[in-house]
């Protein structure tokens, strides 16, 4: 075991240059309390003049906000110790220097925890060769006890010494001076806190309540699985995007059987690791009150989506919003036939070769100008699900409101398609149907963005926008725009406007 | 929907469609009476000759002007039904289709495009509009896409916060024309009962106005014993409406029938307006600063 630990720590130290988090750790380790005091403009070290807890949080926020620029992650790091039950007690400090030192140490420990999932596997290792046992041993030492943590610290310092890194401290326990908790629950809560940090770092979503119910063995398994699946997922992206030398999917290239086989090997590791997870909600979907894990065909469908997104990105860079290029058709075909392709690949003996054949096939179809056979309903579902995916991924990073707006426009485009394709059977009800579908869609989008309450204002805001729009037609004499034939489109446009206003307002 | 915590006379608009040319009802009412829209209790037909439970009715007593029938009524009653079409629920009524204007003034845009508050009078109604923005934006009129509505919406989001948007809405020209119909009607006919109600239900899916008789108005003793609403031209509807019962929240949930709620509200409207029916006084009352 200690040999494993020695190997793991060595490999982590070799990877240190891989992440910008390490640069932050390096920087803060080398600045002392005095420098920090000056940086923060804290006039006095004295804790009699200011509240130590306030000073502590100020220092911690200062350090973390230099590295984490999105408010959500920052808030998470600020609040997590309190969530799991640790409280800062001002009487634990005797001097301002202690306050600054303790806050600095916590921030550095948090940076280490956020960095570990990224450092623990070398980027050149293929997913099928991931040192899964080593990862578990490392995580277990991290979580088990103060004694095992000391051992970890010992090995890490030794490994850093060997690489000529002398003045950097590895201390993964964020709970130091100032924090108090009932001794009986301390080990368990500390484990939960460490696990939450690792889970957060992987950007997977999790069910917080479930994390607290895991025992030591389970939580080690769980955190390790988060790391492995995060690594496999980013490997999958890298394999598709390619590196500087080799870009196998750089349109008009569509990979080859060997590259496609590599994708499936990675996908297998991703599926295996996620199947062990019990707290993660990223690879599940909600059905009638319960979370159902992804099936094999969901994973294959995900792979095709990733490939399609890669081509969309290329299209965006090369052609902007222009339509009907060969690449655009290719993307449309892959999007529209995603589920059909996934079903066929599920049955294939050699899925890698079969994937390549599929891509080849659709490339030919795109060349001959073939359009996907896709019903408006399915297009509508595709738009909504990609919006959902985008929103949930973006939550952790910077949300681009323009992109969300683009997607909303696409969703409303799809509504027009749905209504028009049913116009005959809907008859007199077509307009009510359109209104109800717009209302429902807007509700789902508002919920995705966490502002479901804004729904109550949707009808009148939409009406207001429609009136202002109609008024400009009237004042410019374009009365024909208000004819019956345009009613469905005007209804849909009104809701698109109302929803746009509410989203923009709620973002502020 | 805004639900007032206490009683007050406010402007209320009811409409399902987002298109300006479609049906609308606009009126004065007190949403504190039912704490929102009144919903009937589901009750079994008292004669037992029908097995099914009646649908809920949404109920708003108050003086309303109806665009389709071009007349005013004492109350609005809408049967709440749901129909599923290709997997999409089409409700006959949504609470979101009712809005109260709990605002104490209006808005207009100054030369620089900044919002400015304004007292609502017949002169200032209709003073808000974004067309100058549209003119300057160079957006083409012809192509029907979302561009214009989305542009209007993002422009609005930039200049008017949601908390102020209702003020802009009441100051817009479309609302001005609707509100003027109501104000003219009140000034011309006064606050006497219209003896008409607006009903939308299975038999009248597009809404209708029916003549009614109030037993309690003709005969003080019958009012006490509770003679219910009569609809001489439509006995089936009379029977249906006579079964409805609503919880009057202003009186800690006392059960009340359609006729009594209407007469209650009529009294309240008269009390609040103090008999004043000209445009100026009604506007002043509807958009007065809420105290407390």
Residues B111 and B241 in one domain: no
Interface membership of B271 toward A (CB under 8 Å): no
CA dihedral A197, A203, A206, A212 (to 10 degrees): -10
pLDDT averaged over chain B? 85
Gap between the Cα atoms of A492 and A436, Å rounded: 10
Nearest CA in chain A to B144: A489
CB atoms within 10 A of CB A365: 16
Residues B184 and B273 in one domain: yes
Residues B116 and B85 in one domain: no
Of B85, B96, B152, the CB nearest to A469: B152
Q: For B26-40, how does the pLDDT look when each residue is reduced to its tens digit (9 = 90+)?
A: 999 998 898 889 988
Question: What pLDDT band is residue B249 in, cutting at 50, 70 and 90?
Answer: confident
Residues B220 and B247 in one domain: yes
Dihedral sign, CA of A428, A431, A436, A438?
positive
Residue contact B144–A456, C-beta within 8 A: no
pTM of the predicted protein model: 0.59
Assigned domain for B292 exists? no
Residues 6+ apart with CB under 8 A from A447: none
Number of domains in chain B: 2
End-of-domain residue from the set B145, B171, B197: B171
Mean pLDDT of A21-31: 85
Contacts of A431 in chain B (CB under 8 A): 17
Question: What pLDDT band is residue B144 in, cutting at 50, 70 and 90?
Answer: very low
Residues B145 and B272 in one domain: no
Q: Considering only A277-291, A416-430, B34-48, B178-192, which range has the smallest mean pLDDT?
A: B34-48
Q: Can you give the length of chain B in residues?
A: 292
Interface membership of B82 toward A (CB under 8 Å): no
Q: Are A25 and A112 in contact (CB under 8 A)?
A: yes
Mean pLDDT of B172-185: 95
Residues B16 and B141 in one domain: no
Contacts of A496 in chain B (CB under 8 A): 146, 149-150, 153
Q: Considering only A235-249, A369-383, B227-241, which range has the smallest mean pLDDT?
A: A369-383
Residues B87 and B195 in one domain: yes
Residue B204 has pLDDT above 80, yes or no: yes
Task: Find, among A375, A508, A400, A499, the residue nearest to A442 by Cα.
Answer: A499
> Residue A299 CA to chain centroid, in angstroms?
17
Q: For A207-231, how does the pLDDT look when each residue is reduced to its tens digit (9 = 90+)?
A: 888 898 999 999 999 999 999 999 9
Give the pLDDT of residue B290: 65
Q: Are B102 and B290 in contact (CB under 8 A)?
A: yes
Helix (H/G/I), strand (E/B), else coil: A261:
helix
Residues B134 and B277 in one domain: no
Give the pLDDT of residue B50: 47
Containing A206, the helix (H) or strand (E) segment is none
Of A471, A481, A501, the CB nearest to B153: A501
> How far away is chain A from the Cα of B94, in angstroms, using its nearest Cα?
10
Find the domain containing B197 and state its range: 10-102+179-286
Interface membership of B130 toward A (CB under 8 Å): yes
Q: Considering only A65-69, A85-89, A159-163, which range has the smallest mean pLDDT?
A: A65-69
B290 vs B58, residue with greater confidence: B58
Assigned domain for B222 exists? yes
Instruction: Return the domain boundaries, chain A.
Output: 2-202, 234-367, 379-507
Nearest CA in chain A to B135: A472
Residues B236 and B166 in one domain: no
Residues B203 and B215 in one domain: yes
Q: For A277-315, how does the pLDDT look when each residue is reduced to its tens digit (9 = 90+)?
A: 999 988 888 766 677 889 999 999 999 999 999 998 888
Q: What is the 3-state secondary structure (H, E, C) of A335-386?
A: HHCHHHHHHHHHHCCCHHHHHHHHHHHHHHHHHCCCCCCCCHHHHHHHHHHH
Assigned domain for B1 exists? no
Give the pLDDT of residue B292: 40
Residue A467 has pLDDT above 70, yes or no: yes
> Residue B93 CA to chain centroid, in angstroms?
13
Residues B278 and B188 in one domain: yes
Q: For B78-125, how does the pLDDT look when each residue is reduced to its tens digit (9 = 90+)?
A: 999 888 887 778 888 998 999 999 899 999 988 888 899 999 999 999
Q: What residues does B247 pair with on adjacent strands? A: B255
DSSP B124-161: TTT-B--HHHHHHHT--SSS-SSHHHHHHHHHHHHHS-
Strands B246-248 and B254-256 turn out to be antiparallel
End-of-domain residue from the set B153, B171, B189: B171
- Which residues 5-34 of B are in CB contact (within 8 Å) with A? 13, 15-21
Residues B87 and B226 in one domain: yes
Residue contact B131–A460, C-beta within 8 A: no
Among A159-163, A483-487, B146-150, the range with the most confident prediction by mean pLDDT is: A159-163
B178 vs A386, residue with greater confidence: B178
ipTM of the shown complex: 0.91
Question: What pLDDT band is residue A18 in, cutting at 50, 70 and 90?
Answer: confident
pLDDT averaged over chain A? 87
């Amino acid at each position: 075991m200690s040999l494993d630990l020695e190997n793991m720590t060595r490999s982590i130290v070799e990877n240190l240059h891989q992440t910008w988090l390490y640069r932050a750790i390096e920087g803060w380790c080398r600045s002392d309390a005095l420098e920090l005091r000056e940086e923060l403009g804290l006039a006095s070290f004295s804790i009699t003049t200011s509240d130590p807890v306030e000073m502590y949080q100020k220092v911690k926020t200062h350090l973390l906000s230099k590295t984490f620029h999105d408010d959500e992650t920052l808030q998470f790091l600020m609040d997590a110790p309190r969530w799991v039950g640790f409280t800062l007690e001002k009487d634990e400090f005797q001097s301002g220097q202690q306050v600054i030192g303790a806050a600095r140490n916590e921030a550095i420990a948090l940076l280490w925890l956020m960095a570990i999932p990224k450092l623990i596997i070398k980027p050149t290792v293929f997913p099928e060769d991931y040192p899964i046992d080593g990862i578990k041993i490392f995580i277990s030492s991290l979580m088990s006890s103060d004694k095992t943590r000391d051992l970890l610290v010992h090995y890490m310092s030794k490994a850093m010494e060997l690489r000529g890194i002398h003045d950097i401290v590895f201390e993964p326990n964020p709970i130091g001076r100032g924090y108090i908790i009932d001794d009986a629950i301390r080990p368990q809560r500390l484990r939960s806190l460490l696990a939450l940090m690792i889970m957060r770092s992987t950007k997977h979503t999790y069910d917080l309540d479930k994390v607290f119910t895991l025992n030591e063995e389970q939580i080690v398994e769980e955190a390790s699985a988060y790391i492995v699946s995060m690594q496999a997922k980013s490997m999958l992206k890298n394999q598709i995007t390619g590196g500087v030398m080799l870009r196998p999917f750089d349109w008009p290239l569509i990979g080859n059987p060997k590259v496609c086989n590599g994708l499936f090997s990675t996908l297998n590791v991703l599926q295996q690791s996620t199947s062990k997870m019990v707290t993660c909600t990223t690879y599940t979907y909600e059905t009638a009150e319960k979370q159902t894990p992804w099936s094999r065909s969901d994973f294959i469908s995900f792979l095709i989506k990733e490939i399609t997104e890669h081509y969309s990105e290329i299209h965006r860079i090369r052609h902007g919003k222009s339509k009907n290029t060969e690449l655009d058709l290719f993307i449309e075909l892959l999007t529209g036939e995603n589920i059909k392709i996934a079903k066929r690949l599920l049955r294939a003996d050699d899925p890698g070769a079969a994937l390549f054949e599929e891509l080849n096939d659709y490339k030919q179809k795109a060349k001959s100008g073939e359009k996907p056979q896709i019903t408006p309903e399915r297009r509508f579902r595709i738009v909504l699900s990609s919006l959902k995916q985008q929103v949930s991924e973006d939550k952790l990073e910077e949300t681009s409101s323009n992109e969300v707006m683009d997607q909303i426009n696409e969703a409303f485009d799809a509504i027009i398609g749905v209504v028009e394709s049913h116009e005959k059977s809907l008859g007199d009800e077509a307009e009510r149907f359109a209104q109800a579908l717009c209302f429902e869609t807007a509700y789902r989008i508002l919920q995705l963005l966490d502002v479901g309450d804004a729904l109550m204002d949707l009808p009148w805001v939409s009406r207001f926008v429609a009136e202002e729009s109609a008024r400009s037609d009237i004042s410019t004499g374009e009365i024909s725009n208000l004819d019956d034939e345009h009613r469905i489109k005007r209804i849909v446009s009104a809701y698109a406007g109302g929803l746009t206003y509410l989203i923009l307002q709620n973002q502020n | 929907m805004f639900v007032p915590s206490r009683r007050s006379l406010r402007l209320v608009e009811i409409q399902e469609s987002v298109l300006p040319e479609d049906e609308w009802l606009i009126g004065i009412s007190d949403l504190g009476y039912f704490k929102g829209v009144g919903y009937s209790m589901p009750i079994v037909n008292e004669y037992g000759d029908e097995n099914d439970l009646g649908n809920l009715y949404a109920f708003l007593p108050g003086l309303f002007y109806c665009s389709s029938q071009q007349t005013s009524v004492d109350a609005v009653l809408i049967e709440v039904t749901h129909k599923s079409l290709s997997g999409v629920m089409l409700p006959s009524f949504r609470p979101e289709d009712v809005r109260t204007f709990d605002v104490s003034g209006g808005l207009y845009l100054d030369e620089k495009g900044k919002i400015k508050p304004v007292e609502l009078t017949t002169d200032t109604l209709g003073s808000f509009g974004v067309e100058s923005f549209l003119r300057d934006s160079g957006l083409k009129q012809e192509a029907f896409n979302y561009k214009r509505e989305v542009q209007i919406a993002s422009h609005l989001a930039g200049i008017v916060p949601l908390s102020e948007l209702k003020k802009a809405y009441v100051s817009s020209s479309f609302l001005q024309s609707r509100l003027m119909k109501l104000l003219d009607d009140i000034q011309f006919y006064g606050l006497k009962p219209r003896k008409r109600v607006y009903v939308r239900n299975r038999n009248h899916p597009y809404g209708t106005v029916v003549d009614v008789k109030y037993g309690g108005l003709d005969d003080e003793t019958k009012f006490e014993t509770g003679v219910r609403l009569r609809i001489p031209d439509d006995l089936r509807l009379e029977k249906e409406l006579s079964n409805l019962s609503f919880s009057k929240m202003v009186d800690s949930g006392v059960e009340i029938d359609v006729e009594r709620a209407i007469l209650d509200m009529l009294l309240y409207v008269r009390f609040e307006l103090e008999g004043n029916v000209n445009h100026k006084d009604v506007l002043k009352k509807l958009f007065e600063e809420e105290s407390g």
